[in-house]
Structure formats: C-alpha cells, structure tokens
Amino acid sequence: MKILAGSSNPELSGRLSDELGIDLLDREVMRFPDGELYARIDDVVKGETVLLVQSTYPDHNAMEFLILSRLLKDLGAYRITGIIPYFGYARQDRIFREGESFTARTMASLIEMSADDVICVNLHKEATLREFRKVGKSANVSVMADIGDFLSGFGIEYILAPDKGAVDYAREAAESCGCGFDHLEKTRIDGSTVKIAPKDLEVDGKTVCIVDDIIATGGTIMKAATALREQGAKAVYACCAHGLYTGGGMERLKPVLDGLYSSDSIENPTSGYSAARAISKAVKEMEGELDG
C-alpha cells in the first residue's frame, strides 16, 4: 500500500504516512502558466493499493483529484482509495428548489469514475455517502473525538452545538473530553446570515466550546459566541472539522473567541488536531486488519 499526496493536504498526508507506516509516492504536481495541471508519478504503482489524499475544494483541487485518480488507474494501480479530507459541494446535498443542480451527487459520480473506495471526513450529511453508487467500500469518519481529546487540557465544562442538527458532534466531543453538552437554536436566514434564538443554558461563569462540522463565513460561530457571552460564559472556544473561513471568517472570529481551532482537513493556521487517526482507523478497517 502507498500514499499519493495531492496538493491540498501535504501535512495530513505526512501524518497519515506516519500513522499507517507506509510511504508517500514520489510525484510531481505543478501548474502550467495558464493554470492547467501537470502530474507525474515517479514510483511504480502497478498492482498496488494506493490511498489518494486530496480534497475536492476549491474547484482546482477537485480537478486535481480527478486527474490524479485517473493517472493511478492508467498506471495500473490495483485499488485506488480516494481519501477526501474535505468534500467540496457537500452542502448542496439535495435538490432544494426544482431545476437546481444536486452537486454533491455530481461530485460523487465524478470521483467514482476512478476511485474504487472512498473515505470522507465529517461529511455535512452522512447520507451523502450513499451518492457513491459504484465504489466498493465507503466510510465517513469523524474528528469529533479528536476534538474532545484536544480540548482535555482547556478546562472545558460544556460543549455546545450551534443547532440541534449538530448535537451529535457535541455529544461525541464531550464524551472524549469528559464534560457536558447541549445545543443552541439556530435559524439560517440566508447564505451569510443566521439567528440564534435565546435558550437558557447552564453556562454562567463556565468555560465552553462551540463545535460544528464547518466554519464558513463564521456567522454561525459569531452569533453563538455572542449568545453564550450574554448568558455569562467566562471563556468561549470554537472547534470545527473543516475551517473554510470564507471572506475573512478567521480574522473576524479570532477577537471574539478565546481560541479557534480546526482539523487539517483544510490546512490553515488554526489546524490544531489531525484527521489522520480517524482516517487510518478506517483504512485498517477496510483492509480487514482489525477483524482478526
């Protein structure tokens, strides 16, 4: 088994290589002056199972996934496992209005043109995994327990999800952190505006952390942090799986939080914990190594 690291997640690929004790393939990936991709693999991959680590966000990374997976197929790889730390377009996970594109399905169908198996990390909706119709094995792994472990030294007393839909994330993180959990009541007004309804929580004088799968504009965390401070929270942290931070979200959030962290599914200065452990566990399960 070998790892092919695409350009999106070099650090995570290195951690995965350490965690699994397998080598990274020698490869060259670069862009021509017009932006088109050039890719070459210098090692022999014929007959090998290869883990291709590459997110599909933003679009140029999705194109790189397609080019690299097809290259592995053309070079005779035995099995190609697409490891997609951040699955772009996961939030368009159904047809909300007639006539619009079901983009998560489109992406899945493109990915499985060359990938034999897939491992995703904290997909926005678990059901999106079912859009992979041709792959052999598929898994959606979670970094929430890693977030809980990471928070263990922070004196966190409560972990809060911004809405009911994310309460399982809070539960998972709280279980490994050893603290309580609850959720706020969020309503989305539009793509960049959310409202957090008042809800009595036992956060007065407490150190709390908000957890979510994605931080995009930061609007959700901003409103949640404000609501928690208004209820007397002493310190407010925020952790997510995927730190997208669109339109300066990171800079806007930092001053209102005591700490802001994300995983290395999208590598950025807030990456405080890694998805490598969760992914390598899924790889081993897929290989059947944990069965015996």
Name the residues annotated as catalytic: 186
Out of 9, 217, 263, 265, the only residue in the binding site for ligand R5P (CB under 6 A) is 217
Is 62 strand, coil or helix? helix
Element (H, E) at 280: helix 276-286
Site for ligand R5P in 108-147 (CB under 6 A): none
Residue 216 contacts ligand R5P per CB under 6 A: yes
Examine residue 162 and tell whether it contacts ligand R5P (CB under 6 A).
Answer: yes
Please select the residue that binds ligand R5P; options are 85, 218, 241, 270, rule is CB under 6 A.
218
* 114 vs 262, beta carbon nearer ligand R5P: 262
Burial of 234 (0-12, 13-18, 19+ CB in 10 A): middle
Distance CA 68, CA 52 (A): 8
Using rule CB under 6 A, residue 6 touches ligand R5P:
no
Least distance to ligand R5P, CB of residue 207, Å: 22
User: CB of 117: closest distance to ligand R5P in angstroms?
Assistant: 26
Report the C-alpha gap between 142 and 119 in whole angstroms.
11
Minimum distance of ligand R5P from residue 214's CB (angstroms): 4
88 in contact with ligand R5P (CB under 6 A) = no
- Identify which range of 81-89, 115-123, 213-221, 267-275 contacts ligand R5P by CB under 6 A: 213-221
Element (H, E) at 213: strand 207-215
| 225 near ligand R5P, rule: CB under 6 A | no
Cα separation, 125 vs 142, whole angstroms: 12
Please identify, using beta-carbon distances, which residue of 45 and 245 lies nearer to ligand R5P: 245
In this structure, the number of other CB atoms found within 10 A of the CB of residue 133 comes to: 10
Q: 40 or 164, CB closer to ligand R5P?
A: 164
Q: Rounded to whole angstroms, how far apart are CA atoms 226 and 98?
A: 36
Residue 70: CB minimum distance to ligand R5P, A: 31
* Closer of 83 and 216 to ligand R5P (Cβ): 216
Q: Looking up tokens 């490598």, which residue turns up?
A: 276
**Among 59, 69, 37, 38, which residue's Cα sits nearest to residue 106?**
59
d(CA 143, CA 140): 10
Query: Which residues of the chain form contacts with ligand R5P (CB under 6 A)?
Result: 162, 166, 194, 212-220
